[in-house]
Amino acid sequence: MPTNHYRFVAMEEFGKQLKEEEFTTKQMVDWCNTYRTKTGRLHKQTGTTLVKMHGLLKKSDSFVLLGNNTWKYIGENKNEQNRRFSNEKDSN
């Protein structure tokens, strides 16, 4: 398994649950630090810090930074939604 694999799995699950809602880096850290396995035990490999999570979010193509530690999950249609977000930003 590549490094951070289980963190990325937990991040994707968190993003899919929020759908189009914005969230902070702290909310994502809290999610990963309390992430449970299917058997209900605390997952051993998803714990993280604010600094590490910020780097993982920047590295992922599934999330976009909106500003001041506020993120949004764009998921599978990331290219289309990223263009839409850029167009909305330009029109304001």
Residue 20: band (very low, low, confident or very high) from pLDDT cuts 50, 70, 90: confident
The CATH class of the 5-91 domain is mainly alpha
Res 83 pLDDT > 80: no
The terminus-to-terminus CA distance of the chain in angstroms comes to: 43
What is the helix (H) or strand (E) element at residue 81, kind and residue range?
Answer: helix 78-91
25-33 helix and 50-59 helix, angle to the nearest 10 degrees: 110
Residue 2: band (very low, low, confident or very high) from pLDDT cuts 50, 70, 90: confident
57-82 per-position pLDDT tens digit: 999 999 999 988 899 999 865 454 55
Ordered by start, the domain boundaries in the chain are 5-91
Residue 9: band (very low, low, confident or very high) from pLDDT cuts 50, 70, 90: very high
* pTM for this entry: 0.76
